[in-house]
Amino acid sequence: MMINKYIVDNEHANMRLDKFIRKYSKEESLSVIFSLIRKGFIKVNGRKSKENYRLILNDEINFPDEAKINMGKKVKDENMKTYLLKNNIVFEDENIFIVNKPNNIPMHKGDKHKYGLSEMAKIYYNSNNVNFANRLDLETEGLVIGCKNLQILRKINDEIKNKNIIKRYIAVVKQKELKLNDEFMSNKFIKVLENKVIVSNEGQFAKTFFKVIDIFDGKALLDIDLITGRKHQIRVHLSDLGYPIIGDRKYGKNNVNSRMYLKCYYIKFLDYEIKIERNFN
């Protein structure tokens, strides 16, 4: 495996690692760069670093060809299309696969993204019959269920419709008066508008349960049981309760963090139970 190397000069000293990589690899999205750094494909002085690490003169930045970062050289298109997908598959059998979707990665391609998980999956499995049974917002990370054929997709969709699939989420909100093990809920109706979702009696019934499972740094970590599956349901209910998710620009008013702390960490259905650690990597 070939390792590429760059020695930091005066021009790049004190620059954030992610901004440095972005400068020399403009074809990559920031979400891809963040993922590569967090997974340790990009190292500084032989060690895994954080994206906000400030470069020091003569630091040595290493990155293998497999990381698809070649300092301005065009990456191999086919590998890049499937890189995020195959490196985030946490379960797979002959019928389904479960992906731990990073935040700011779309489910489908759009104006700002050439590829979404759906397009990556079709390429990776070389089949147009591959589809996802559940979806997450662009900013939300966590588990999504991929189906390798249409028959399984219909079966999983029926399980979701019949509420035989359990999905649990975690979110970080400002603490305020919340205490450890506090439990609360919202069953307010929500209505989908053109650009957002609002609480409204003219909308559809929605029900969400919340439990405080950790308190830290003036914040609360919530375990969330999603009873109904409406668009933006968790985000809207928490905002209405006065606990907007940290990093939620749409429903968090002046909340301008670069990352939204909402994650689907648990899925249980049929004979499978999938869990990942209850934190944000």
Per-residue confidence band for 66, with pLDDT thresholds at 50, 70 and 90: very low
151 and 186 housed in the same domain? no
DSSP state letter for 65:
G
CATH number at residue 106: 3.30.2350.10
125 and 186 housed in the same domain? no
117 and 141 housed in the same domain? yes
212 and 255 housed in the same domain? yes
54 and 129 housed in the same domain? no
Give CA–CA dist 67/50, Å, rounded: 16
C-alpha distances in angstroms, 50 versus 39, 104, 281? 10, 18, 11
Residues 6+ apart with CB under 8 A from 29: 104, 113
- How does pLDDT run across 222-271, given as a tens digit for each residue? 999 988 889 999 999 999 999 999 989 888 865 555 688 999 998 887 66
DSSP state letter for 102:
P
Tell me the Ramachandran region of residue 46: left when phi exceeds 0, alpha when psi lies from -120 to 50, beta otherwise.
left
CATH number at residue 48: 3.10.290.10
Dig out the tokens for 112 from the structure.
Answer: 């700002």
pTM of the model: 0.68
Last residue of a domain, one of 67, 84, 118: 67
Give pLDDT, residue 212: 96
- Spell out a b/e string for 225-236, using b for 16 or more CB atoms within 10 Å of the CB, else e: ebeeebebbbbb
Give pLDDT, residue 74: 39
